[in-house]
Amino acid sequence: MFKFYVTFFDLMTFRIKYSESENQIPAIDNDQFCVDCISNSKLNFMNIIHTNLGFHSTCDDVIQGIDLTGKRTIVTGGVSGIGIETVRALAKAGAEVTIAARNIEAAKKVASEINFILDKDRVDAAVLDLADIHSVNRFVSDWKGALHILINNAGVMALPDLQKTSDGIEMQFMTNHLGHFALSVGLHNALKKAEGARIVVVSSSGHLLSPVVFDDINFSFRPYDPWQAYGQSKTACNLFAVAATQRWAQDGIFVNALNPGAILTNLQRHVGGRLRSAPELHKTADQGAATTILLATSPLLEKTGGHYFENCNESITVTQRPENYEGVTMYSLDRNNADRLWNLSKRLIRY
């Protein structure tokens, strides 16, 4: 059983630290208390994290006053949409940013354009194909030194036909979760060197469409459905944030997931290149990247992980799918599910 040590730092937010050993309990100050984690799910009595930001907030709104000089960051898929806005915001705040993308020419072009605008040489590019475990391993092998922020941004959505990797892994699950899992695990030591690293996982409201179907992840028995495949891959993103924080918080690594919202990007290329949600729910790429930047840089998220955010605030848990597709499911934050996925993912990447 984990013990959580909860320190309140204002009326609406708090930090969580835990120790895996019940025999090593730190001293508790007057403003600190200890509670046993007796539920496998997210603890319902905990205050969710609120900010004064919201749906319309932009990256500049979020990162105002934050200096990232000396911070080294990686953004996967930073060649379009919210990925470009994420890279731009981090570099503008002083961070060194590596765009990790399959299309290296596109990545170099984005890096060059942002460097030109900033008149600084802060952004570079490297090859990374998340659907190819060998490419992931090469990227990890080439990375040297500490890593302060890893943003698992790349993804695919609703592939119309069942596609599998050479190892037989369904392509959405591989790209959206398993490739990023392998990348994060491979970069663990670099993240640990940062002594306070963050991993930001771009999930989706699509997780409301399906839990992880552990007995048939690759659609070997059930008929393939593009949205069920997408849904389980994004549920996996949330569960990774829970499992990785549980295992790596003691190394100073905290992981959170987010829903960027409805943004018209290349992600919709398999569904007619349009958004199906109501126009009032649509965001610009800048607004969509704002929650990513919040999780990557805000002091409110220091030493805090295992959460799911949207519209720059932590989401409430829901027991059924709401019409506006906001909120986070209990099954995507469940610790037993997170542990099961972690162990399965290790086996699949032969770690």
The set of catalytic residues is: 230
Cβ burial, residue 93 (10 Å; 0-12/13-18/19+): buried
Helices 285-297 and 81-92, interaxial angle, to 10°?
A: 50
How many separate helices (H) and strands (E) can be counted in the chain?
10, 15
* SS3 category, 215: helix
The string of DSSP codes covering 63-87 is: HTT---TT-EEEEETTTSHHHHHHH
Q: Which residues contact 27 (CB under 8 A, 6 or more apart)?
A: none
The CA distance from 226 to 27, in Å, is 51
Q: Where is 92: in which H helix or E strand?
A: helix 81-92
Closest Cα partner for 136 from 126, 124, 128?
128
Task: Fill in the amino acid letter for 132.
Answer: D
Strand, coil or helix: 4: strand
DSSP readout, 300-316? GGTT--S-EEETTEEPP
Q: Which of 307, 329, 315, 180 is nearest to 245 (CA)?
A: 307
Structure tokens at 168: 């037989």
Task: Give 169-208 as a DSSP string.
Answer: -BHHHIIIIIHHHHHHHHTHHHHHHTSSEEEEEE--GGGG
Looking only at Cα atoms, what is the longest distance across the chain? 58
